[in-house]
């Protein structure tokens, strides 16, 4: 079974620039999550999709972050404009249906550095 | 009070040692108790999960949950250099995961 695919692996941008990350979940997984993991901290949920609908985006800074999951499969997360404090690893995770520990799988993440 | 507290370490032990990793929590609504392992530049991977108090063993790993004290532990026996990673405790309540900050472990050959 292929894992959760994310790209790019690394990205360095200047503050105020925009950036986009891509995630392809495990085939058949209805639920998709984006997390932000700042160095030395645990992952923090940004947004959760069930198929192509948003379940929870309460911690997404909507003035600069946006995410979409068209067709209920892959997803993109965008930051515009980026700030220095956005430097972090952005993790995508997926699960069969809802937050089941057994099927919950993380990708390797995209490491973003804002300079 | 934070919902999840985890000692960040770092922890450094010799190969073969027994390692104890711990988390405390405050939310009584947590239903699942999990440990994730995260290697450098990788995403977290599920190591063990349980939903009841007591011990659960899987090879060299034992997860322990004490709901009355709101305390969970992960024990690693006969630690190996390949166990060097960050260990995250995690909890599930309803639709939401709650992660600890992670404990960095290095096993020295």
Are the C-beta atoms of B31 and B21 separated by less than 8 Å? no
A5-114, what's its fold? Answer: Immunoglobulin-like (2.60.40)
Cβ within 8 Å, pair B43-A99: no
The string of pLDDT tens digits covering residues B19-39 is 999 999 999 999 999 999 999
Domains in chain B, number: 1
The string of pLDDT tens digits covering residues A43-91 is 999 999 999 899 999 999 999 999 999 888 999 999 999 999 999 999 9
- pLDDT at residue B16, as a whole number: 97
The string of pLDDT tens digits covering residues A3-46 is 999 999 999 999 999 999 999 999 999 999 999 999 989 999 99
**Above 70 in pLDDT, residue B1?**
no
Q: CATH no. for residue B104? A: 2.60.40.10
Nearest CA in chain B to A42: B101
Q: What is the DSSP letter of A86?
A: G
* Residue-range definition of the domain harbouring residue B12: 4-108
Chain A residues whose CB is inside 8 A of the B90 CB are 42
User: Which 3-state string (H, E, C) describes chain B?
Assistant: CCCEEECCCCEEEECCCCEEEEEEECCCCCCEEEEEEECCCCCCEEEEEECCCEEEEECCEEEEEECCCCEEEEEECCCCHHHCEEEEEEEEECCEEEECCCEEEEEEC
CA B57 to chain centre: 13
User: Domain segments of chain A: what residues?
Assistant: 5-114
């Amino acid at each position: 079974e292929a894992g959760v695919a994310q790209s790019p692996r690394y990205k360095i941008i200047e503050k105020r620039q925009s950036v986009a990350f891509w995630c392809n979940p495990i085939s058949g997984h209805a639920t998709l999550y984006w997390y932000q993991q700042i160095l030395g901290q645990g992952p923090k949920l940004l947004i959760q999709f069930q198929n192509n609908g948003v379940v929870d985006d309460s911690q997404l800074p909507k003035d600069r972050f946006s995410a979409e999951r068209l067709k209920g499969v892959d997803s993109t997360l965008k930051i515009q404009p980026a700030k220095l404090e956005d430097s972090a690893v952005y993790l995508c995770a997926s699960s069969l249906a809802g937050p089941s520990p057994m099927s919950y799988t993380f990708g390797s993440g995209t490491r973003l550095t804002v300079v | 009070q934070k919902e999840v507290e985890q000692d960040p370490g770092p922890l450094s032990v010799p190969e073969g040692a027994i390692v104890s990793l711990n988390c405390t929590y405050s939310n009584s609504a947590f239903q699942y108790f999990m440990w994730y392992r995260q290697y450098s530049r990788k995403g977290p991977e599920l190591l063990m999960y349980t939903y009841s108090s007591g011990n659960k063993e899987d090879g060299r790993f034992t997860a322990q949950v004490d709901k009355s004290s709101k305390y969970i532990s992960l024990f690693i026996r006969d630690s190996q250099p390949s166990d060097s990673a960050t260990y995250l405790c995690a909890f599930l309540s309803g639709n939401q995961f709650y992660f600890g900050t992670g404990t960095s472990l290095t096993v020295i050959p």
